[in-house]
Structure 1
Amino acid sequence: MYLSEHTGDASGPSLVYLWVPDVDRIAADLGADVEQVPWARECEVTDPDGNRVRVATAT
């Protein structure tokens, strides 16, 4: 994955969605709550610039 901050590449804030084998472990490391949605268990964190990273494990 390549994330760019070059002017004109993309407008922010943005979202990155990552699929992982164990969202509960990642959520614990991030201090985030896990939510059950129809397609996965997922958590989300936001950086100081408003960019979001959502991490999920398929159900």
Structure 2
Amino acid sequence: MFFGPLSDRIGRKEVLLSGMGALAIVTCLLGFADEFYMIVILRGIQGFVAASFAPTDGICF
């Protein structure tokens, strides 16, 4: 609901590349998390950012 309209506005490639970069950063931060609440928060952010890949694939049926 968020990344589909965003990719229509600014472009699929930009959303996909920025999403991949953000996902790499969040995943690295997750490896350094040592408290449970930080793991939960970062996993939520990771799931949100990972959702940027599906609506930007450009496949139309």
TM-score (norm 1): 0.30
Say which structure is richer in helix. 2
Say which structure is richer in strand.
1
Greater RCO structure (CA 8 Å; 6+ sep)? 2
| TM-score of the aligned structures, taking structure 2 as reference length | 0.30
